[in-house]
Amino acid sequence: MNIADYSVTKAVLDRHGFTFKKSFGQNFLTDTNILRKIVDTAEIDEQVNVIEIGPGIGALTEFLAERAAEVMAFEIDDRLIPILAETLERFDNVQVIHQDILKADLQTQIQQFKNPDLPIKIVANLPYYITTPILMHLIESKIPFTEFVVMMQKEVADRISAEPNTKAYGSLSIAVQYYMDAKVAFIVPKTVFVPAPNVDSAILKMVRRSQPAVQVQDEDFFFRIAKASFVHRRKTLWNNLTNHFGKSDAVRQKLETALAQADLAPSVRGEALSLEGFARLSDALKEQGL
């Protein structure tokens, strides 16, 4: 009997008098086929350690624990800690950490794995309200997670994996794709959750690149330029950059020089630039002292 079976989930929740908190964005998955598919997509085996965020009552954790070397699950809701102790009792390869993943000292925590040298994958059903901060926090951490297989709102997954010249493409696409190769693996309908969310979800698979997608002089500056280029989506690159840097004659002169150097027309929009285009632009702007 799987934790994710609807009758089991309901019995566990009823037994503990558990009620869903909107502030934690809690939606529990009750479809074992989808859980199996998530673990298959992540290619979990006994040579992999897993970090899970927001295990809920342990539905996904159970499938991960059956295959992984170890699972470390971070749960912020103290009401779920005794429930997880019960539902995951039979596993000796699961640690539940009662902590906010954004505040955890992950470098120290991963040393608690019996074999911390194994590759670490992030597999999680992420809370919708905080998906992007969690992802960026983990991607930008100095911990070499090899892969992320995470569930999120379909719209956010589409934005992260978007190609240039599409409506979904933006600074989030660039921020993630700089580090990771990102692809939507499959869609998860809202009907398989308790309670059902308002929108469909997607499983996003992100594999860490051996080196960033592009080489830039200054990473922080590169991300800042990407963000500035999408502040007003319908405006040209020129308009967004002058809004960001200012409109003095000296600034305009530097912008003209940098755009020419990067081989970009001032009339182009940010959504038309690939990561390579943004790399050329940010390096050229940096060289102009902007």
Residues within the annotated binding site for S-adenosyl-L-methionine? 27, 29, 54, 75, 100, 125
Tokens 């990102």 locate to 182
Point out the annotated binding site: 27, 29, 54, 75, 100, 125
How far apart (Å, rounded) are the C-alpha atoms in residues 53 and 75? 7
Name the pairing type of β-strands 120-125 and 28-29. unpaired
DSSP codes, 121-139: EEEEE--GGGHHHHHHHHH
Rounded to a whole number of angstroms, the distance between the first and last alpha carbons of the chain is 61
- The residues with which 150 forms a beta bridge, in sequence order, are 124, 204
Helices H, strands E: what count in the chain? 12, 9
DSSP symbol at 181: E
- The residues with which 205 forms a beta bridge, in sequence order, are 149, 183
How far apart (Å, rounded) are the C-alpha atoms in residues 195 and 182? 28
How far apart (Å, rounded) are the C-alpha atoms in residues 59 and 200? 19
